[in-house]
Structure 1
């Protein structure tokens, strides 16, 4: 199961794929400039993201891995990115798929 949410709602360890950059209905200059900067940083549709770290105060800024690079953003900037997140990881789930000898 996957969920599509704004990247600003992500928590440490969340992983997913960017499905939309920016608010395409937005016509204000600030929103268009932010979208352009995000694209230049590698936040493109289809890129994989993983949230690595959250700041201490208000969980801001957030550090993430975007494909093979690391980038930090403020949460209000991350709200411009829509991500399809992987299903929540359950503790020990990595061992559940391994075969256990009888």
Structure 2
């Protein structure tokens, strides 16, 4: 698990690492791994097209029972279900806890 301190009051984590109820702001869409890029080379762009753009507030609403998939995320007035590998591409800036 990678946690990067962006300043003394915030942390940057990937969306799949957030717990249900946690919220934050989209930091960036991380680079696709070779395996993901081969499967869906346009995934990063699609995530941005549906609203995962830097600075947008989001909240994790629910995680599935088996393996934590899908992950229900509210961004703006919309709710999306993401697979764990999709959520892992999204950096989220959260308050330090």
TM-score normalised by structure 1 residue count:
0.75
Mapping for residues 1-102 of structure 1, pairs under 5 Å: 1-23=9-31, 28=37, 30=39, 32-88=41-97
Structure 1 residue ranges (4+ consecutive) displaced by more than 6 angstroms after TM superposition: none
Q: Structure 1, residues 22-73: CA drift from partner, whole Å, max 9, x if none?
A: 31797x4546411011011111111111000010001111001102211110
Larger radius of gyration: 1
Name the structure with the higher strand share: 2
Gaps of 5+ in 2: 1-8
How many equivalent pairs are there? 87
Gaps of 5+ in 1: 89-102
Q: 2 CA distance for matches of 1:4 and 1:60? A: 21
- Quote the RMSD (CA, aligned, Å): 1.9
Q: 2 CA distance for matches of 1:62 and 1:24? A: 19
